[in-house]
């Protein structure tokens, strides 16, 4: 298996077109981690690395902290083989004032340095603001990221958001190099304005949520169960979320013709994202080595035909759909 590589926008950093998202590896919203889960996550990272994956995405809030620590452990003695992206912003966020805990540049820089310590590295390739909307400390993040860039502690910086006006504000001086965004067959809203803007502005696009929290694996049904500490448990217990879940299952059923010999629904979903010319890389989560290999096999699966692309347009028209919370 030979993965293709793409350049992450104006950063000039080359990354594998399929990376590894490490949100679930941290536990937290996906259930508390334990030794068995940690061992599986480290095996998934090792499998991805040996298969040619170079891009790994994490965040301080994943766990919290646990995902970064696991990735740091995996990188020991071979940092040069990893292109690392992490995020900062939600730890200590004040819900009342709707602002982050980083009121000064010094606080922001110190915060990122804790990311580095957990990752056991003296730099990260990409640092991202994890806050998806404009709030009072945005300029602190921008100035702090510039300072970290000048000090050689980050190679590029960007933002994780689906808010077009905020994305433009974050890039007001043209220095934002990356955008991480929820984009999938079920959520094509970025196609209207955001993806064209990124392509025109030299912003590398990192896609999260391409499998829609597992919906686009096709493995869920009306009888699916989730652990009580898995955020998707609310899909079953909250009446409003249950209704949306049922609707999503209907759309997934309509997409079943995308499954064919040599290609799963999940692989078709990854292919769909990667065929957009504004997208640099997609970071499906994986908690086991098998999930990693299944995702990477999308690069060798039969490509989507014009007829299959037409089916996708019928299920979710271009620019349509909705964000699958909390991606």
With cut-offs at 50, 70 and 90, classify the pLDDT of residue 327: very low
3-state SS assignment for residue 183: coil
Dist CA 22 CA 86 (whole Å) = 10
Per residue in 55-67, pLDDT tens? 999 999 999 999 9
Catalytic residue among 62, 102, 166, 183: 62
Average pLDDT over residues 155-161: 98
With cut-offs at 50, 70 and 90, classify the pLDDT of residue 229: confident
> How many CA atoms are closer than 13 Å to the CA of 312, on its beta-carbon side?
23
- Which 3-state string (H, E, C) describes 12-77? CCEEECECEECCHHHCCCECCCCHHHHHHHHHHHHHHHHCCCCEEECCCCCCCCHHHHHHHHHHCC
What's the confidence (pLDDT) of residue 31?
A: 62
Dist CA 125 CA 157 (whole Å) = 8
Q: Closest Cα to residue 26, out of 281, 287, 247?
A: 287
Residue 102 designated active-site = no
What's the confidence (pLDDT) of residue 231?
A: 78
Segment holding 85, helix H or strand E? strand 83-88
Dist CA 190 CA 322 (whole Å) = 10
* Higher-confidence position of 78 and 29: 78
* Token duo for residue 183: 């984009």
Dist CA 194 CA 216 (whole Å) = 23
Per residue in 231-287, pLDDT tens? 788 888 888 889 989 999 999 999 999 999 999 999 999 999 999 999 999 999 998
Dist CA 313 CA 209 (whole Å) = 18
What's the confidence (pLDDT) of residue 29?
A: 61
Average pLDDT over residues 296-312: 98
For 143-157, give one letter per residue: b (16+ CB within 10 A) or e: ebbebbbeeebbbbb
Phi-psi region of 160 (alpha: psi -120 to 50; beta: other; left: phi over 0): beta
Alpha helix locations (H) across the chain? 35-50, 66-75, 105-119, 138-150, 164-170, 194-201, 234-237, 239-254, 265-274, 289-296, 306-315
> Which residues are paired to 205 by β-bridges?
179, 279
What's the confidence (pLDDT) of residue 25?
A: 87
pLDDT tops 60 at residue 40? yes
Token pair 């007001």 in the structure block, residue: 172
Phi-psi region of 83 (alpha: psi -120 to 50; beta: other; left: phi over 0): beta
Instruction: Decide: 232 and 204 in contact? Cβ < 8 Å.
Output: no
pLDDT tops 60 at residue 316? yes
Per residue in 70-120, pLDDT tens? 999 999 999 999 999 999 999 999 999 999 999 999 999 999 999 999 999
> Which residues are paired to 154 by β-bridges?
124
With cut-offs at 50, 70 and 90, classify the pLDDT of residue 32: low
Average pLDDT over residues 202-217: 96
Q: CB within 8 A of 318, min separation 6: which ones?
A: 188, 191, 192
Instruction: Decide: 81 and 110 in contact? Cβ < 8 Å.
Output: no
Average pLDDT over residues 8-12: 98
Q: What percentage of the chain exceeds 70 in pLDDT?
A: 98
> Which residues are paired to 178 by β-bridges?
158, 204
Average pLDDT over residues 274-302: 96
What's the confidence (pLDDT) of residue 230?
A: 78
């Amino acid at each position: 298996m030979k993965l293709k590589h793409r350049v992450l926008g104006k950063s000039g950093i080359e990354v594998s077109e399929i990376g590894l998202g490490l949100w679930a590896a941290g536990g937290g919203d996906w259930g508390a981690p334990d030794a068995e889960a940690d061992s599986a996550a480290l095996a998934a990272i090792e499998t991805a690395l040996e298969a040619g994956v170079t891009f790994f995405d994490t965040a301080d809030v994943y766990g919290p902290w646990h995902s970064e620590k696991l990735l740091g452990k995996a990188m020991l003695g071979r940092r040069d083989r990893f292109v690392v992206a992490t995020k900062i912003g939600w730890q200590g966020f004040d819900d009342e004032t709707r602002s982050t805990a980083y009121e000064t540049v010094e606080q922001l820089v110190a915060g990122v340095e804790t990311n580095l310590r957990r990752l056991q590295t003296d730099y990260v390739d990409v640092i991202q603001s994890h806050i998806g909307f404009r709030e009072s400390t945005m300029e602190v993040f921008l100035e702090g990221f510039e300072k970290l860039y000048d000090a050689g502690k980050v190679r590029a910086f960007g933002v994780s958001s689906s808010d077009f006006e905020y994305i433009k504000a974050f890039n007001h001086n043209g220095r934002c190099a990356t955008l991480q965004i929820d984009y999938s067959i079920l959520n094509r809203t970025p196609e209207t304005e955001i993806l064209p803007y990124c392509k025109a502005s030299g912003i590398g696009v990192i896609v999260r949520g391409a499998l829609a929290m597992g919906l686009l694996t096709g493995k869920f049904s009306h009888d699916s169960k989730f652990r009580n500490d898995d955020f998707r448990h609310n899909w079953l217990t909250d009446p409003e979320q249950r209704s949306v879940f049922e609707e999503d299952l209907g759309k997934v059923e309509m997409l079943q013709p995308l499954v064919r010999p040599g290609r799963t629904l999940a692989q078709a979903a990854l292919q769909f994202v990667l065929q957009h010319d504004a997208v640099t890389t997609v970071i499906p989560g994986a908690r086991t080595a098998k999930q990693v290999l299944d995702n990477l096999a999308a690069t060798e699966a039969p490509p989507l035909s014009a007829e299959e692309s037409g089916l996708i347009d019928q299920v979710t028209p271009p620019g349509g759909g909705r964000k699958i919370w909390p991606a």
